[in-house]
Structure 1
Amino acid sequence: MAGQNYRALDPIPPAERRRWRLNNAPQRVRAEFLVHRLDCAQASGDHLLTDQEALRTLADPEAAACCEVCCPETVLRHVLPEAEAPGSP
């Protein structure tokens, strides 16, 4: 119908969904940033990441680490085939 907004019927493709939140890490963590699940109560940052962006960020342990509360690595380890996952031989 003309004049109707149908954007809700076309969801964002899974590869483009921003499911992760990045914020500054506390001083006790060696990394500069922490990656959180979007709904983590510990997350306060407004910077959102896609799966691929989160994996690239976590590839450098000095740059980012996983939140110890929401454990995003449990989901992210299944995003890529094992041969491409970070830490795979």
Structure 2
Amino acid sequence: MTLLFSGSGIVLFIIWKKFGQPDERTNAIHLKIISCMFITQLIMNSVFISLVDKDIECFRQIFILFEAFVFFVGAIYSFRLYRKEFK
């Protein structure tokens, strides 16, 4: 879980820097990535709230797992946009 979270964050940061200086084109790409991550966050939170009972003991671990998954989706989507825009 920690490797997924940190690896996705590093990949996301590297690709974010590869897009270059902020301008109209890169701002649109950044907003697409952030909106994809936000929608994934909303879906994961709704699944978490609806499926988990109130007596959960490992809340933080599951929440961090969902955050790692959100960063992973953001990294994959940013890599896909990078290949589409620059290749």
1 or 2 for the larger relative contact order (CA 8 Å, sep ≥6)?
2
For the superposition of Structure 1 and Structure 2, which TM-score range results when normalised by the shorter chain? under 0.3
Give the helix-richer structure, 1 or 2: 2
Q: With structure 2 as the length reference, what TM-score do the two structures score?
A: 0.23
Q: With structure 1 as the length reference, what TM-score do the two structures score?
A: 0.23
